[in-house]
A and B are shown apart, each in its own frame.
Chain A
Amino acid sequence: MSTAVTETPTTAAAAAAGGSPSAAPAASSPSASRGHVEITDVRKSFGATDVLKGVSLTVPPGGVAVIVGPSGSGKSTLLRTINHLEKVDDGYITIDGELVGYRLRGNKLHELREKDILKQRTDIGMVFQNFNLFPHLTALENVIEAPIVALRKPKEEARKRALELLDRVGLKDRANAYPRQLSGGQQQRVAIARALALNPKILLFDEPTSALDPELVNEVLDVIRELATSGTTLIIVTHEMGFARDVADTVVFMDEGQIVEQGSPQEIFSNPREPRTRSFFSKVIEPAFNI
C-alpha cells in the first residue's frame, strides 16, 4: 500500500490560486499508474446553499483516502461529483489526467454527451449507503448487468467473473438469491461485487456501513480492507473511525463544504492541528480510542 499521499496538505485556499487545465501530472505514466484522482478547486451550490466551496484533493493510484466530517458537510456531494452524478459549478476533476464529464475544446470545457459520460463511469465504481441493489434481479444478475450492457462482455464470461467476485465477498452460495432474501451486510457485499465487476480504477464508498446493524458492519469493512491492498484507488466516506485509522493512507476532514485538514491517520486522529477537527473528533470518538 502506498503511504505517500499529498505530502503538502492542499488547503482549499492554496489550490484556488490556479493551475492550468492542461497540467495533468499523472498522464505522463499511464501504464504504471491507474486511478490517479485529482480534484481541483471544485465548487457546487444547490440554490443559495454553497455545498462545496472550493475543494481540492489528490489521491494517487492505489491510494486510500477516507473522508470524515459532520453530516451535511458535503462529503456525499463531493463523491458524486467524482463520477459526474453531480455536475460541478466550477473547478474540475481528472482521473489519470482525463477530465471527468467534460472535454476541452478551444478555451472552453464542454460537457460530454451522455454516452461518453457513461463510458467514463465504468472506470469509477460506486457503493451506496443503502446498497441500491436492483431488487427484481438476483445477486448474480445484479453483478453481470453492467459488464454485459456497458462493457459488452459475453454473458458466459461475465457470469464466470461475477461468480469469482461473489466468492471474493463470501457470497458464492447466495448467487441466485434476490436482494430481499439477503441480510443488509450481504446486500452491501453484493453491491461491492457489482461495483468491482466493471474492473474500475477507482471505487467510491458513501457511508457503506451506515445502514447496517452493528454486528453486520465488520463483514463489510473486512471486504473493503481486503480491497485496500489490491491496488484499486479507494475514496471512502465513513463514520467508522477505527476502520479509517486502519485502512487510510490519507484522512480528510471536511466541514461546511471545505477540506479543513488532511494527513496521515496518525496526524489527523492523534494530533489534529485545527480546532474544528479536534472538536469533531472529541464528539465522535469514544475516549478509549483516543490515544
Chain B
Amino acid sequence: MSSTATTVAQSAPSTAGRPASAGAADTPTNTEKTAGPPAVDYSGYKLVPAKHPGRWVGTVLVALGLAAVLWSLATNPRWEWGVVAQWFTAQSVVNGLIETLKLTAISGAFGFILGFVLALMRLSASPLLVGVSWTFSWIFRSTPLLVQLLLWYNLGYLYEKVSLGIPFTDVRFFEVQTTTLISQFAAAVLGLTLNQAAYSAEIIRGGILSVDQGQLEAAAALGIPAWRRSTRIVLPQAMRAILPTAFNEIIGLVKGTSIVYVLAYSELFYTVQVIYNRTQQVLPLLLVATLWYVVITSVLSVFQYYIERHYSKGAVRNLPLTPLQKVRRFFATHAVKESR
C-alpha cells in the first residue's frame, strides 16, 4: 500500500526521543510500550501520495484495446465510411430521424403522464382504482409490443367504426371509420404510449414507495394540502429513485421506436432499410442509423446527469463536481504542481 510512508517511519526513529503516548498506534514498531520509544519529529518531510501501478497498467491495456478497435474501424474499407458520410445527413435519413424523435417524445411524455396516473391509482385506497391499474399493467406488460402495434393498426378489422355516445343506448354524438382514425402514426403512438405507461407506472410507484412515510405525516401535520404534499414533498424525493430507471426506459424507447417498422412507418430504422434495399449497402446504412441512436442516447445521458444532480440536492451532503468542474480542477491542481 503506502510503501513510502513506512520507509520514512523506519528511517526516522534514530533522530530524536519522543513521548510514549504520541501516535503509538501508527507503526507496528512502537508496540513495546515498556521501552518508551523515542519521539520523532516528522514535520520536515515532504508528503508523497501513494503510487497505483495497477491502475496505470490497466489504463494502458484499455487504451491499447481502444486504439486497436479504432484502427480497425478506420482502416477496414468494408465499413465504407464514405457511404456513411454520404447518407448520414441525407434528407430522407434526417426526416426519419425527426420521426423517431417525434415518436419518442410523444410516447415518452404521454407514457409517463399516464404512468403517473396509474401509479397514483395503484396507491389509492379505492379497490376499483387499484384493480384497474393493476390489470392495465398486467395486460400491457404481458403482450409483446409487436403484437400490440399490429392489433392497434388492425383495429378496424375488429371494430369497423368508433363512436362516441351514451353507453347501452343508440344515442351517438359522432362516429368514424376506424381505419381513418388509426393511421400508422396513431397506431405507433398508441402502442408505444400504452406500453410505456404500463412500465412507467411501476417505476413511479416504486419511487413513491421509497419515500419515508414520516414525510407525508409531517406534511399533513403542518396542514399542507394533499396535492402540494405529492408535488412538493413526495415527488421530488421519489425522483431520485425514479430517474435512473426512467432514463433507461426513455433510451430504450428511442431504439424501441424502430419496432414500428412493422407498420411501414418511416422512422429512422425503416428509412435506412428502404435505402439499403435499394443500394445494397447494408452495413454502412445500419451504421448510419446506429450512429444517430448513439448521438441521441449521448445527449439524453448528459440530460440525465444534470437532472439527477438537480434532484440529489439535500440527499447527499455535498453535491459531486460536474465533469466540467472536475476538468477545471484537474488543470488547476496540476498547474499548481508544475509551478512548484
Contact = CB atoms under 8 A, between A and B. Distances in A.
Given A134-B215, A179-B314, A149 B221 contact: no
A136 B217 CA distance: 16
Q: How large is the interface on A (under 10, 10 to 19, 20 to 34, 35 or more residues)?
A: 20 to 34
Interface string B206-217: 000000101101
B70 interface: no
A83 to B, nearest CB: 6
A85 B313 contact: no
A124 B221 CA distance: 8
Interface string B264-278: 000000000000000
Contact of A130 (B214, B219, B316): B214
Contacts of B146: none
Interface stretch (B5-13, B86-94, B231-239, B293-301): B231-239
A126 B214 contact: no
B222 A150 contact: yes
B315 interface: yes
Interface in B220-249: 220-226, 228, 232-233, 236-237
A242 interface: no
A118 B218 contact: no
Nearest to B212: A132
Contacts of A181: 317-318
Given A85-B217, A128-B218, A136 B313 contact: yes
Interface in A96-148: 114-115, 118-122, 124-126, 128, 130, 132-138, 145-146
B82 to A, nearest CB: 52
Nearest to B227: A149
A160 interface: no
Contact of B223 (A128, A132, A138, A198): A198
A120 B215 CA distance: 19
Interface of B: 212, 214-215, 217-226, 228, 232-233, 236-237, 311, 313-318
Task: In the A-B complex, list the 10 residue pairs whose CB atoms are closest, starting with the nearest.
Answer: A132-B218, A178-B314, A150-B223, A146-B222, A122-B223, A132-B214, A126-B221, A118-B223, A136-B314, A121-B223
